[in-house]
Amino acid sequence: MKDFSDFEKKTKIIFKDKSLLAQAFVHRSYINENPSAGLAHNERLEFLGDAVLELIVTDYLYKKYSSYAEGELTAVRSALVNAVIISESASALGMNEFLFLSKGEARDTGKARSYILANTYEAYVGAVYLDQGYRLAERFVRDSLLHKTDEIVNKKLWRDAKSLVQEKAQEFISITPAYKVISEFGPDHDKHFTVGIYFGKNLIAEGKGKSKQEAEVRAAEAALKAKNWLD
């Protein structure tokens, strides 16, 4: 079993149930490769943590932006609670050092690792909620993620990325972007998609998500950044 004491000191959250803390970091691939390890993977915790995270973020945005309409709040929340932003927060916390991964997954340090980190962050939120309660889960999300909100709002990163990239592409190069699924993996209940955004025949950027729609939005956001079209 890994020693999570340094991580607990960093987050200032000391778990009563250490096995619950460890479970948040266990990827399914590790269980498949080490079936006798006596550990459970983190997908149930991720399921719970996703809901807890959404409530925390929704409550925060509702109170902070009292003049925003429902659609604007939804857009800001979507921009904040996405795999890229969450994986950045997970990396900043050093979660990567504590992951339980198969040998194959451990070698992959690219986009797939970012997605695993985002899922681990959500699983950890779920574990904190179960072990310590809502208020401590809220404090953790506030300290590790919610500070990114100001940048998202100030730079208007919450705008509908697909509509914006279409508008900019037509304005600057007279092209309507097209989206194509590059790859998909996982069982039917847990599909992961990689979608490319194309200007004509040129692949401009890629995005990942649990649905084609989410992956398209991430690809559009990446294209806006690549083209420096975020004003």
**Annotated catalytic sites, by residue?**
50, 122
- Is-contact 76 153, C-beta < 8 A? yes
Q: Cα separation of 196 and 219, whole Å?
A: 6
Helix (H) or strand (E) holding 194: strand 192-199
Q: Label residue 40 exposed, middle or buried (CB < 10 Å: 0-12, 13-18, 19+).
A: middle
97 is in an annotated binding site: no
- Would the annotation count 54 as a binding residue? no
Helical H runs in the chain?
5-11, 18-23, 28-33, 43-64, 70-80, 83-92, 103-107, 111-132, 134-144, 149-154, 161-173, 212-226
Structure tokens at 114: 């970012």
Interior/surface letters 136-154, b for 16+ CB within 10 angstroms, e for the rest: ebbbbbeebbbebbeebbe
**154 φ, ψ (degrees, to nearest 5):** -65, -35
119 is in an annotated binding site: yes
Beta bridge partners of 26: 100
Annotated binding site for Mg(2+): 46, 119, 122
Annotated binding site: 46, 119, 122
